[in-house]
Amino acid sequence: MGEEAPEFRVESITLEPKDCHRNAVQVGNKTYVIGRSDEESKSHFDIKILDKLTQTWVVPTVLGAQPPSRSHSAILVNDEKILVVEKGVSLNDSIWFLEIDTPFVKQQRKIKGSEVVSWSKGVLGVAHKPVVISGPSGVGKGTLIAKLMKEYPSKFGFSVSHTTRSPRVKEIDGVHYHFAERSKMEQDISEGKFLEFAHVHGNLYGTSIEAVESVTDEGKRCILDIDVQGARSVRASSLEAIFIFVCPPSFEELEQRLRARGTETEEQIQKRLKNARAELDQSNSPGLFDHLLVNDDLETCYENLKKLLSLDDEHEDSEDCCMKDGKATACYSILSKTESEILLQSDIGELEKGSANLLALGLSSLTGGAPGRTRGLKIQPVNPIANGLKAIR
């Protein structure tokens, strides 16, 4: 059963002018009031929605990790999301989106049967889609991923899954998996902390939203090593990704690799081989996998994987845009919006500090969103004179 959102009537909204701790954004017949409330010395966001036709307020369920909650400015980007710019934090941490009607929010609203909004942090840089790698146990997924991470440590980050299975020798908690108690993992799943989960070979495995977000926050492309059921769930979610299925050259070779790895008991090997047949059958499910890779010769397969991910393209790095001083403290307010960009103006004498007074946030390259980060944020300094703009103070 969904939680009932409390509703109450009001006469009018009172917002002090220039109140930077509370913003009202008009969306059709609704007003979204994004405010800050201080409770028990902790500051957090307080979101209320006024239906102007019925003059009733709704307090929505707010999903996702929220911004640090300092002073902020807000503007409607489109019918789906509101941009919220935080002040007094680094530029890297200052851009947030409050999703009010994205496909994810619509889906959650349906599940809960009440009003829902969700936070999604904006991440600077080129938005590369996460990569989902599936395939039967023993086919070589882990080996391929390890090679990729070794060759491109700053480009790729591994989404560390949770599992209830026991660690193998040499597996490190927090690096290969988060080894979890079943009851705790089930509780976290029920609280919506997981992007997907599945029962695989008798254990519970799952990808937490945090696992994917922490890789994205480092500006890296996220790699998920998950089974076919997990791939299906991610396909059905709003996380846009590239889906790759790795096949063995033959079933006999798969069995040999699984045995040669020497990490499973005979019983477990039999279970994995049985499941492998079903997974191989599903690899051709229409619309599920974008690419099938045969892992016969390891080096050849690895080169093919790199081609799929355009890593043979010399120009990739030059795409990386943006402000190089994203870690410096920023104090920007939203100045204006056009179809393609939002202008941010510095509140303090940023010019004196050598950083830009005006920034343009490009909207065309934005992608992703809740659950997870909004990627592809491109912020460029603007020359106000060249652009015929007057700075407003």
Interacting residues with ligand ADP (CB under 6 A): 135, 137-143, 257, 260-261, 295, 298, 301
Active site includes 109?
A: no
| Residue 371 touches ligand 5GP, criterion: CB under 6 A | no
For ligand 5GP, the binding residues in 187-206 under the rule CB under 6 A are: 196, 198, 200-201, 205-206
User: Which of 108/229 has CB closer to ligand 5GP?
Assistant: 229
What are the phi and psi torsion angles at 24 (to 5°)? Answer: -115, 125
Closest CA relative to residue 250, chosen from 277, 290, 286: 277
371 binds, among ligand ADP, ligand 5GP, none (CB under 5 to 8 A by kind): none
Q: Nearest distance from residue 138's CB to ligand ADP, in Å?
A: 5
Instruction: Determine the 3-state secondary structure of 338 from DSSP.
Output: coil
For residues 68 and 191, give the distance between their C-alpha atoms in angstroms, rounded to a whole number: 22
140 binds, among ligand 5GP, ligand ADP, none (CB under 5 to 8 A by kind): ligand ADP
- Give yes or no for a contact between 84 and 98, defined as CB atoms under 8 angstroms apart: yes
Out of 261, 373, 375, 393, pick the active-site residue.
Answer: 261
161 binds, among ligand ADP, ligand 5GP, none (CB under 5 to 8 A by kind): ligand 5GP
Q: Could you check whether the bond before residue 371 is cis, i.e. omega within 30 degrees of 0?
A: yes
139 binds, among ligand ADP, ligand 5GP, none (CB under 5 to 8 A by kind): ligand ADP
User: Which of 146/236 has CB closer to ligand ADP?
Assistant: 146
Burial class, 144, CB count within 10 angstroms (exposed 0-12 / middle 13-18 / buried 19+): buried
| Residue 230 touches ligand 5GP, criterion: CB under 6 A | yes
User: Which of 70/178 has CB closer to ligand 5GP?
Assistant: 178
User: Which of 50/234 has CB closer to ligand 5GP?
Assistant: 234
How many residues in total does the chain contain?
393
| Residue 361 touches ligand 5GP, criterion: CB under 6 A | no
208 binds, among ligand ADP, ligand 5GP, none (CB under 5 to 8 A by kind): none
- Give yes or no for a contact between 139 and 246, defined as CB atoms under 8 angstroms apart: yes
Pairing of β 242-247 and β 131-134: parallel
As a 3-state breakdown, the chain gives helix, strand, coil percent values, each rounded to 5, of 25, 35, 40
141-151 helix and 298-308 helix, angle to the nearest 10 degrees: 60
| Residue 23 touches ligand 5GP, criterion: CB under 6 A | no
Question: Across-strand partners of 42?
Answer: 39
Please, which contacts does 265-270 make with residues 24 or more away whose CB atoms are closer than 8 Å?
Answer: 268/201
226 binds, among ligand ADP, ligand 5GP, none (CB under 5 to 8 A by kind): ligand 5GP
Active site includes 70?
A: no
Q: Nearest distance from residue 201's CB to ligand 5GP, in Å?
A: 6
| Residue 137 touches ligand 5GP, criterion: CB under 6 A | yes
User: Which of 28/249 has CB closer to ligand ADP?
Assistant: 249
User: Which of 86/227 has CB closer to ligand 5GP?
Assistant: 227
Residue keyed to tokens 């059921």: 229
Question: Across-strand partners of 201?
Answer: none
* Distances from the Cα of 210 to the Cα of 2, 180, 188, 313, 386, angstroms: 24, 15, 12, 30, 42
User: Which of 60/140 has CB closer to ligand ADP?
Assistant: 140
| DSSP summary character for residue 177 | B
What is the x/- site pattern for ligand 5GP, positions 146-185, by CB under 6 A? ---------------x---x--------------------
What does the buried/exposed string (b/e) look like for 64-87 if buried means 16 or more CB atoms within 10 Å of the residue's CB?
A: bebbebebbbbbbbeebbbbbbbb
| Residue 139 touches ligand 5GP, criterion: CB under 6 A | no
Q: Nearest distance from residue 225's CB to ligand 5GP, in Å?
A: 5
For residues 204 and 5, give the distance between their C-alpha atoms in angstroms, rounded to a whole number: 32
Out of 22, 232, 235, 272, pick the active-site residue.
Answer: 272
Active site includes 259?
A: no
What's the token pair of residue 322? 């943006």
**Which segments of 174-250 are extended strands (E)?**
178-179, 194-200, 203-208, 221-225, 242-247
User: Which of 195/361 has CB closer to ligand 5GP?
Assistant: 195
User: Catalytic amino acids?
Assistant: 168, 261, 272
Residues of this chain that bind ligand 5GP (CB under 6 A): 137, 161, 165, 196, 198, 200-201, 205-207, 225-227, 229-230
